[in-house]
Amino acid sequence: RSGLLALTEAWFAFLTNRRADLETWLDVADSLGHEGPMPDGSASLEVATAVVKMLAGVGGIPASAHYARLVHEAGPQGSPWWGLASGIEAVADHMLGLIADVREPLRAAEFESRGLHASHATTCAHLGFTELRYGNTIAGLALVDEALNEIAEASLVDFSLVGMVFCVAAYSNAVRGDHARSVEMSEHARTLVAQVTD
């Protein structure tokens, strides 16, 4: 009978990689609703559930872009996740072919996600990879190093949702010509990605 408790169960299912339970609890939360702002600072249950749906990729990339926009449009006063949403929105729109050059939206997302370690590191890694692909080697390598340093300092090295940082780090070390470090980053990325098979 509590939309708030159902959302809490959805978060738990998401973080423990139980996709069927996640979608069940999200449906329950949506059907029950919740009056007023959420304990995490989100303006409404709709915004708070959109965060989980966005992170879990519920409905695929188009839906993730939609949920990211909903969270981002809530602004910093309407969701503590708005900076994270900015980065996800940029990447999803790029994957959908809506943005040809994703660097500018990622630069905005990098600024907006400062202070949210996993989100900021992931955004830096996306931006670093993009810079490397455009041939901006020095800027790209610096951004990837920044992402790695941030997750190390925040003790997030084994957090599954930063797996893509290590994917990009494998690539950046290959660009540097450091084969051993590239393999090390790749192996760690595989370990993290394996934790979120759903």
Examine the pLDDT at 196 and tell me if it is beyond 80. no
The per-residue pLDDT for 5 is 95
Q: 47-96, pLDDT tens digit by residue?
A: 999 999 999 999 999 999 999 999 999 999 999 888 889 999 999 999 99
**Distance between CA 162 and CA 134 in Å, rounded?**
23
Find out whether 81 and 71 touch, Cβ atoms under 8 Å: yes
The per-residue pLDDT for 161 is 84
The per-residue pLDDT for 140 is 98
Helix axes 117-133 and 103-112, enclosed angle (nearest 10): 160
Mean of pLDDT values over 170-189: 98
Examine the pLDDT at 17 and tell me if it is beyond 90. no
Find out whether 58 and 26 touch, Cβ atoms under 8 Å: yes
Neighbours of 121 (CB within 10 A): 27
Q: 89-122, pLDDT tens digit by residue?
A: 999 999 999 999 999 999 999 998 888 899 899 9
The per-residue pLDDT for 198 is 60
Q: 136-179, pLDDT tens digit by residue?
A: 999 999 999 999 999 999 999 998 889 999 999 999 999 999 99
Task: List the structure tokens of 55.
Answer: 């992170």
Collapsed DSSP state (helix, strand, coil) of residue 101 = coil
Q: Given pLDDT bands bounded at 50, 70 and 90, which one contains residue 197?
A: low
Which residues, at least 6 apart from 30, have a Cβ–Cβ distance to it below 8 Å?
3, 45, 49
Q: pTM score > 0.95 for this model?
A: no
